Structure 1
Amino acid sequence: MPYRYSPQEYLNMALCYDEAGQVMLRAQQLYAERYGRHLHVRTILGAVQRHRESGSFQTRLDVGRQRHPVQLEEDVLAFFERHPVASIADAARMFGVSQYYVWRLLRNEGLHPYHFTRVQELLPADYAPRVDFCRWLLRNRTYNVLWTDECTFTRQGLFNMHNAHYWSDSNPRVIRPDHFQFRFSVNVWAGIVNGTLLGPVFLERLNTDTYLQFLQNELPELLLDVPVGSRRYLYYQHDGAPAHFSLRVRAYLDEAFQGRWIGRGSVIRWPPRSPDLTPLDFHVWGRAKDLVYGNDGHTIRTVEDLRARIINAFDVMASESEVLSSVRRHCLDRARKCVQVGGRHVQHLM
């Protein structure tokens, strides 16, 4: 039966290793001189590594024998109750068991590794305006809100190196060119009202002049595609971007929509930092970028190519009538949930 070292003996090995300047052969000699026992270098190395990883000299065999299996399971589960963001590897090091053991235990208990939902930071002063707006929306239950927003599409698009793989039985040494020195982008306006998608409209840059020109000349033509019933008493919504808040833009909206526009400086105020309440952010832009960048492997080489992809994406979304028709109901669901939680985040609750 192999010799089992005590925690004190493992500690002595680690001390000799440190005194020897972390040179393994010197540590081996020092331990033999001091304690009269010749150790294999792997024994010393194992003690040092276990202590670095888990803060303990105990081996997995030690932990397994010291704890009853039922008690060990309870301890592991209690560890995750106290530290829900811990990893399987953290627990395996802590209790001296395999990662497979921890994974199987969690799975058998019905626990799953859920991802975080990224949200816009809210300030305490934002809660009341969010509740006020959502109550207005629920009280009116209007079909006629034209939700709008602008978004920038870049050449690079969406690419996560961490999730990108090339499966092969040997390393193919594949590369992916980065277009750092050849970047370009386009700004896109879009809107949605009662199941009708408007856009895309390409804006060279978003400032007072371009936005006002769009409102005066292009928006009226876009609204011709909206059913008459939805155009009647239409509410125009936009957020608090600087171009939206300019005096000329607000003066035009006061004249064109006469108390029926939603935004910063309006009688119906848009709550700041609230992308989770508009369907452009929780549906349109995400769906559009999935379609534009996709997984077809083609590189976007020109601005014209990028614009064509965006137009095609909007054509596809416009044909998804059932999804677009559900947007209004989903907006009301989010508004209702926002009121229930006192103006706090709602993405993770939907």
Structure 2
Amino acid sequence: MGAMNNPKRFKSCPEKTTVWCGLWAGRIMDPYFFKTEAGRNITVNGDRYRAMITDYLIPEIEARGLDEIWFQQDGATCHTLRETVALLLEPFGEHLISRFGTVNWQAGSCDITPLDFFLWGYVKSKVYIDKPATIKALEANITRVIGQIPLEILIRVIEDWNYRMDVVNRSRGQHLKEIIFKK
């Protein structure tokens, strides 16, 4: 799971947006934009990330009937705080791939995280085509682009993730030359 921050493309706009998204077995959750109750954009910290998990992620998983799924996240501090890991262990148990989780995920392993090796680059390549001039337009583009990703692409992403995980397993901690130079 990951976050995308608005790059310094809007020099006249001091506002930024931070978005979280989940991807599983060829499907993708609607983006979650971190905002105050009044609708102001905010950055992510441990409390806000845990609120997103409690108020958005867990209800979405339950509403979709997703059982036995794995939850993988990067090494961002708000993701790896003790309180956050404890919260994630409740619904995911042994299926938590995270630094300090049941399956330890080392920082800097973005080349095998689907949101990092695919989603954020894909979304960024599409959302700026019409040069959104406001954060509201940028967020609308992000939501639209994510909603329009073809199922065939998402299936290939999951297949590629499976391949990458096989390479990680075979490498026993070595550099992943097969991944870097294969694609």
Same fold (TM over 0.5): yes
2:175 alignment partner, SS class: coil
Q: Given the superposition, is the C-alpha separation of residues 236 and 306 from structure 1 closer, same or farther in structure 2, using an over 3 Å criterion?
A: same
- Paired residues of 1:154 and 1:184 also in contact (CA < 8 A): no
- What corresponds to 1:329 in structure 2? 159
1:180 alignment partner, SS class: coil
- What corresponds to 1:281 in structure 2? 116
Deviations 1:243-296 (A, max 9, x none): 0111211221222222221101112111221111011111111111111012x4
Q: Given the superposition, is the C-alpha separation of residues 251 and 224 from structure 1 closer, same or farther in structure 2, using an over 3 Å criterion?
A: closer
Deviations 1:179-234 (A, max 9, x none): 534343211101111111012111221111100101111112322564x3xx2222
- What corresponds to 1:238 in structure 2? 73
Cα-Cα RMSD? 1.9
1:185 alignment partner, SS class: coil
- What corresponds to 2:4 in structure 1? 151
Aligned pairs for 1:1-80 (under 5 A) are: none
- Paired residues of 2:13 and 2:134 also in contact (CA < 8 A): no
Give the unaligned 5+ runs of structure 2. Answer: 35-41
- What corresponds to 1:302 in structure 2? 134
CA distance in 2, matches of 1:306, 1:254: 33
Deviation for aligned residue 1:155:
5.8
Q: Given the superposition, is the C-alpha separation of residues 184 and 154 from structure 1 closer, same or farther in structure 2, using an over 3 Å criterion?
A: farther
Deviations 1:108-148 (A, max 9, x none): xxxxxxxxxxxxxxxxxxxxxxxxxxxxxxxxxxxxxxxx1
1:151 alignment partner, SS class: strand
- Max radius of gyration: which structure? 1
Q: Given the superposition, is the C-alpha separation of residues 349 and 339 from structure 1 closer, same or farther in structure 2, using an over 3 Å criterion?
A: farther
Structure number with greater CO (CA < 8 Å, separation at least 6) is 2
- Paired residues of 2:71 and 2:95 also in contact (CA < 8 A): yes
Q: TM-score, normalised by structure 1?
A: 0.46
- What corresponds to 1:188 in structure 2? 19
- Paired residues of 2:30 and 2:147 also in contact (CA < 8 A): no
Q: TM-score, normalised by structure 2?
A: 0.85
1:248 alignment partner, SS class: helix
- What corresponds to 1:210 in structure 2? 48
Q: Percent identity?
A: 25
Q: Given the superposition, is the C-alpha separation of residues 290 and 316 from structure 1 closer, same or farther in structure 2, using an over 3 Å criterion?
A: same
Count of matched residue pairs: 173
Tell me which protein shows more helix as a share of its residues. 1
